[in-house]
Structure 1
Amino acid sequence: KKEPSPNPSLPDDFLLSCFARISTLYYPSLSLVSKSFRSLLTSPELYKVRSLSDHTECCLYVGPVSILNCRSHTWSEGPSMRDDLYSLSASVVDEKIYVPFFQKKKKKKSLHVFDTETQTWDPVTIGLKDGFYNESIDGKFLVVASNKQVVIYDPKKVRWDAVRIRSRMDCNMDLSLLIYCEIDNVLYSAWGGGESSDGRWRELEGLVGLPELTSESCVRLADHGGKMAVLVSQNLSFYSRFSHKKVIWCGEISLERRNGGCEIWGKVEWFDHVLTVPAGCHVVKVLGVTV
């Protein structure tokens, strides 16, 4: 009896063309099919094909440390720094990562820049002595201090400029405690709406279906392909048998300008529980990456 011949393997170019049309959410499952599939799914060629065929998509990544290659889904350690530093904020401007740090031993603040090309850290002088949070907007690096002082660093002009923030929140809110994200050159806050180019904070209208946030809610925002991704984590009740657990919700908000751009409305596309983790886990940074 004649044995059947094995099926011939498909050309790599054909497979890459097929994979490029599939959402990256299915890549982990596809990589289990064979070693050749796994190799193609982590290859730089696949993401070139996705880009050329206009099949890129924005994916949401959550990560606390190290460097994540969003194409191969692999972690690598970045170069270490001399001091014992602590930071919960980072921004990218012109392929450089700006990170404000708190030096635990010296108990003072400092700002460092990581050059992604040379893989080196360099300190930057900043005239803020108080605690601060940062965000990149319109190709510039914005720093908000807890004393409500705001400065913007222009890397092209190598210059710091003070910014006056006009808002009814100025008198009763600590701006450094706000959670920020930038979408289409508008700075959004978890507690304070959106801040336009004229430096004025406005309420984000709409948002029907979004649960009320409390002081115990840990909120992170990210640009997700022009929409706002919202990640909320909170420990379960101490009196619950799941008190050692933390629940994480995720949602997506579409944004629309109205009334000649003077108003920005948000529509909650969806919001749901996505993960339950040990109570000791913390969501540090959320980033939307187009791959």
Structure 2
Amino acid sequence: MSSKSRSSAATSRKDPPHDKKMPATEPMSISFSSLPDDLLINCLARVSRLYYPALSCVTKNFRSIIASPEIYQTRSSLNRTEKCIYLYLSFCRDPETYWFTMRRRPSRNIANESTGYYMEMVPSPKYLHPAQSSTLVAVGSDVYKIGGGDHSTCKLSKRKCSYSFSVLDCRTHTWRQAPSMGIERDSSSTATFFDGKIYVAGSCDKRYAGYPDRVEAFDLEKQTWGFVTNPRVFDRYHKFKAARECHCVIDDVLFFWESGAFKWYDSKTRLCKEVSDVKGLPDLHDPKFCKMAMVDLGGKMGLLWNTKTSQECKIWCAEITFERRHGDEMWGKVEWFDSVLSTHVSCSSFYAVSASV
């Protein structure tokens, strides 16, 4: 073919018109909520549980996933469990008590940062309402309520002790009954978890005075109670711990509040020492401060206290980190503190524990 023919053939081809626009390709948008459930569970399991109430409001599917046992199994396998504060309050002339858990308040500002914490009420069936004068101990994701008068007992006979033993599953906020104890107990008893068993000592009834220290042990694996015939099963450390009402153990160090000061127990020297300083903490010697409680927040301390005025009772919380210096000095620093709950002035007491969820 000649060059002229090739040129003629080339010019005879029909090129696409330049004035006609090609159809635009629509960008593909993928919604987070449209992901498969197994992938959603994996993603949501990595988010702090403090944000779960807000996430539950996003979609029905989110709410269903967050309420499922699968997400907590995933959190455990990913090592994403965290310590969450649970609080119960009792009020004068009210036989019931009320449970709350710590939540993080979503921010409404542009930076979308947290503006603080608050306490959200935990629902419970009427027949399993927590009772006054109970002792609490947390093991993993469960909180065990030990003794205390049930609703009808408190109302009719005003007794504050019982054989009752019930469990709050903090993953699903559901209650279940557990095997009853052999001795009636109230809040004067002490409880501690050690080596797979919950040990309970003390009671409110003098007829059990003949029992050696009246100690019972609940085997979590067998789900059975038994009396401890040799009270020496408690070493000096656990006896010392049980004797302090306001205490907690953080990274194997026992902290407690005594005689208006923070103290800690050195298990190596078996000596009690005062914490050198806790920077940023308000003056807890104020007479408005009525009660205190300490919980472990996974390496940090959650310190709770209440203040009262003629109009209301406020629950406050502080998050404190501790640092050991020079071997025998302990220093603390407050990360934040704020009021987390305002309630009726008739609030007579509160108790706090932390569960792993």
Q: Same fold (TM over 0.5)?
A: yes
1:87 lines up with 2:187 in the alignment: yes
1:193 lines up with 2:263 in the alignment: yes
Q: Which residue of 2 aligns with 1:272?
A: 338
Q: Which residue of 1 aligns with 2:174?
A: 74
Code of the aligned partner of 1:185: D
Equivalent residue for 2:274, pick from 203, 206, 213: 203
Task: Report the RMSD for the aligned CA atoms in angstroms.
Answer: 3.0
Instruction: Report the 3-state secondary structure (helix = DSSP H, G, I; strand = E; otherwise coil) of the residue aligned with 2:347.
Output: coil
Structure-2 change in CA distance of 1:107 and 1:272 (3 Å)? farther
Q: Which has the higher strand share?
A: 1
Structure-2 change in CA distance of 1:82 and 1:57 (3 Å)? closer
1:38 lines up with 2:142 in the alignment: no
Cα shift readout 1:104-149 (whole Å, capped 9, x = no counterpart): 2526452221222232222223659xxxxxxx99xx97113xxxxx
Q: Which residue of 2 aligns with 1:154?
A: none
State the distance in 2 between where 1:117 and 1:127 align: 21
The TM-score with structure 1 as length reference comes to: 0.71
Instruction: Report the 3-state secondary structure (helix = DSSP H, G, I; strand = E; otherwise coil) of the residue aligned with 1:81.
Output: coil
Equivalent residue for 1:115, pick from 204, 219, 231: 219
State the distance in 1 between where 2:245 and 2:230 align: 20
Cα shift readout 1:155-204 (whole Å, capped 9, x = no counterpart): xxxxxxxxxxxxxxxxxxxx935522111221111125111121111111
Code of the aligned partner of 1:22: V
State the distance in 1 between where 2:237 and 2:72 align: 29
Structure-2 change in CA distance of 1:82 and 1:178 (3 Å)? closer
Asked if the contact 2:208/2:214 (under 8 Å) is kept, the reply is no
Structure-2 change in CA distance of 1:127 and 1:83 (3 Å)? closer
Structure 1 segment 95-244 matched on structure 2, within 5 A: 95-104=196-205, 106=207, 108=209, 110-125=214-229, 142-144=238-240, 176-191=243-258, 192-197=262-267, 198-214=269-285, 217-234=290-307, 236-237=308-309, 240=310, 242=311
State the distance in 2 between where 1:97 and 1:253 align: 27
Could you tell me how far 1:24 is from its partner in structure 2? Answer: 0.7
Could you tell me how far 1:34 is from its partner in structure 2? Answer: 4.8
Structure-2 change in CA distance of 1:270 and 1:33 (3 Å)? closer
Q: Which has the higher helix share?
A: 2
Equivalent residue for 2:313, pick from 225, 229, 246: 246
Structure-2 change in CA distance of 1:250 and 1:92 (3 Å)? same
State the distance in 2 between where 1:262 and 1:230 align: 23
Asked if the contact 2:218/2:224 (under 8 Å) is kept, the reply is yes
Code of the aligned partner of 1:181: C
State the distance in 2 between where 1:18 and 1:117 align: 32
Q: Which residue of 1 aligns with 2:328?
A: 262
Structure-2 change in CA distance of 1:230 and 1:20 (3 Å)? same
The TM-score with structure 2 as length reference comes to: 0.59
List, as ranges, runs of 4+ consecutive aligned residues in structure 1 with deviation greater than 6 Å.
none
Structure ID, larger Rg: 2
Could you tell me how far 1:52 is from its partner in structure 2? Answer: 3.3
State the distance in 2 between where 1:74 and 1:205 align: 42
Instruction: Report the 3-state secondary structure (helix = DSSP H, G, I; strand = E; otherwise coil) of the residue aligned with 1:80.
Output: coil
Structure-2 change in CA distance of 1:9 and 1:124 (3 Å)? same
**Structure 1: any 5+ residue segments left out of the alignment?**
1-6, 129-135, 145-149, 151-174
Equivalent pairs, count: 239
Could you tell me how far 1:73 is from its partner in structure 2? Answer: 2.3
1:62 lines up with 2:87 in the alignment: yes
Asked if the contact 2:281/2:334 (under 8 Å) is kept, the reply is yes
